[in-house]
Amino acid sequence: MSFIEFHDLTHCYNQGQENEYMAICGVNLSIEQGSFTVILGRNGSGKSTLAKHINGLLLPTSGVCLVDGRDTQDMDDLWAIRRQVGMVFQNPDNQLIAAVVEDDVAFGPENLGIAPQEIRSRVDEALKAVGMEKYKSFAPHLLSGGQKQRIAIAGALAMRTRCLVLDEPTAMLDPQGREEVLNTVRRLHDEQGITIVYITHFMEEAVAADRIVVMDQGRIQAEGTPREIFCEVEAMKAGGLDVPLAAELAWRLRREGMKLPGQIMTDEELVQALEAYGCPLS
Amino acid sequence: MSIELKEVTYCYMPGTPYERYALRQVSVSIQDGSFTAIAGHTGSGKSTLVQHLNGLLQPSSGQVLVDGIDLKGSDKEARAAAKAARRRVGMVFQYPEQQLFEETVEKDVAFGPKNQGLDPGLVQGRVEEAMNLVGLDYASFRNRSPFQLSGGQKRRAAIAGVLALHPRYLVLDEPTAGLDPCGREDLIRMIQKLHRDWKLTIVFISHSMEDVARLADSVILMNHGECVIQDDPDTVFSRDDLLQAAGLRPPHIQRLLRKLQAAGVPVQTRAKNIEECLARIREGLKHAQ
């Protein structure tokens, strides 16, 4: 069942003005309930603009965005939509507002007027889900970038969100923080069936997805499984994007005439293929 | 000619309950003409370290010498010399595009040299030169608003503002963070060009060990406010113990070659970039057959 649907979605910034800019041009896409979708594309391709439609931060200039069957342009439904879709942005320092971690996570449910005991259990549950329960009485500014992003995710979980939209959540993090955030997102997807829409410039992170959508100049340029997308090395490079290291190496070795299987994407697959190639008899 | 840090210790908010040592006894040197990388995970002291290079922070103890001049001038004369020395070190912060503010790219790039009291007749030449160096054609970009440029272009405009000051050393704090693969590659090529053709000494902070392996000829590895090693990249990346303690891993290329080695393909694991990695694989396979 599709959870998010875009029908002929177009978004134009500054419409009718001199600096009018078409960020999205007629996108049709549906994102399944419980799926893990990665959106790739170069800067300015419309990824973030598209993501902001999912919880109605932006409304379509034309076309429709449906979330769980509700239209984001219907003001009566907007709050219900926002409860179901949590957003996490790039800069960990811009998203936390309270002086103590647990207060920050409680901010959303408090605003919904939920009973204090219920808030308590939601906050504990959310912090546990992102592996940050030990830090509940810390001040957010003392945490690392990866930990701050996990608190931001916990804030969305405390709203009992069914879908997380993450817009380059790891861009400002070090490798360790990046891994923490990606593992947390994967776990939430696997264990709680939360629908994930994940924007990133790191191709190695995109391998974790069920499906990849590639955007270019406001349009969908390609979609498919990570394997399908990353095997088109030439097309990806032409679009200013990259592929995982193993896919690139395999592609270049094949071009030199080496007979390697065509669908190599991970280090392990490449090692296995080269091992077999190097010692064909063993 | 070089920047020398001698036993630099820096303490944030000394004497308060929030007292925290960000640097402890750091001694490193940045040689003239080098391409030096500073690596370490968040909170290891990298950014505090680079802020010492042009005197934005003064050490709690220890010395910073730029071309032999102590940045902590003791008397009036020494302070004037220190001020001149600081100007030799250009600083590009993280997300420098957030510091753009003028109406046009030309005015923004001109802000620094003007502020330093450079003769107005010379300012335009500096601006033109700096914009062309970063790949923003002077004629077509001078009158554009910096806010209407793309992310990569904005960042290059901000770097032009620093280059217009004619630094001898260029310090960049995570110059490629947040850019797409294409923008990242463009910016890296530009920095390489500044190093090669304009003979600028480059110091850069990076989380990407791939970039460090590819670009640097000297690596400063920071952990808990200490410099645990300063050496060439090959040596640093062979020290798994230090890297792991610092929360880092060797570049992906080298990890992959090691996995191949472990699987019985006789490959060498030294490789700086994809070309070298491919060469190692070819050699290894030839050897195996």
Q: What is the pLDDT of residue A91?
A: 86
Share of chain B above pLDDT 70, in %: 100
ipTM of the shown complex: 0.81
Contact residues, chain A, for B288 at CB < 8 Å: 278-279
Domain boundaries, chain A: 244-282
Q: Tokens 């693969």 identify what position?
A: B181
Radius of gyration of chain B measured on its C-alpha atoms: 21
The 10s digit of each residue's pLDDT in B141-198 is 999 999 888 888 899 999 999 999 999 999 999 999 888 888 889 999 999 999 999 9
In this complex, do B148 and A171 lie within 8 Å of one another by their Cβ atoms? no
Mutation pick from A174, A200, A241 vs chain B, by most beta carbons of B within 10 Å, is A174
Give the residue extent of every domain in chain B.
2-249, 251-289
pLDDT tens for each residue of B53-110? 999 999 999 999 999 999 998 889 999 999 999 999 999 998 899 899 999 999 999 9
pLDDT at A50: 96
Three-state secondary-structure class, residue B46: helix
> Hey, are the CB atoms on A245 and B252 less than 8 Å from each other?
yes
> Position B213: which residue type?
A
pLDDT at A282: 47
Per residue in B115-133, pLDDT (tens digit) is 999 998 899 999 999 999 9
Helix (H, G, I), strand (E, B) or coil at B225: coil
Q: Would the CB atoms of A245 and B249 count as touching at under 8 Å?
A: no
Tell me the two tokens of residue A230. 């990353």
Taking alpha carbons only, the member of A138, A51, A39 closest to residue A96 is A138
Judge contact between A174 and B247, C-beta under 8 A.
Answer: yes
CATH number attached to the domain at B2-249: 3.40.50.300
For residues B20-39, average pLDDT: 96
Is residue B64 a contact partner of residue B71, using CB atoms and an 8 Å limit? yes
Question: Strand A211-216 vs strand A219-224: parallel, antiparallel, or unpaired?
Answer: antiparallel
A175 contact residues in B (CB cutoff 8 A): 41, 207, 209, 247-249
Q: Could you give the CA distance from residue A214 to residue A217 in angstroms, rounded to a whole number? A: 10
A278 versus A186: which is more confidently predicted? A186
Q: Do A274 and B260 touch (CB under 8 A)?
A: yes
Tokens representing A17 are 């003005």
pLDDT, averaged across chain A: 92
Averaged pLDDT score across all residues of chain B:
93
Mean pLDDT of A85-108: 91
Q: How far is residue A82's CA from residue A180's CA, in Å, rounded to a whole number? A: 26
Q: Which of the four pLDDT bands, split at 50, 70 and 90, describes residue A279?
A: low
pLDDT at A20 over 90: no
Q: Which residues lie closer than 8 Å to A111 by C-beta, 6 or more apart?
A: none
Whether the per-residue pLDDT at A89 is higher than 50: the answer is yes
pLDDT, mean of residues B31-37: 97
pLDDT by residue (tens digit) across B193-233? 999 999 999 999 998 899 999 999 999 999 999 999 999 99
The predicted model gives B45-51 an average pLDDT of: 94
Q: Which residue of A has its CA nearest to B284?
A: A278
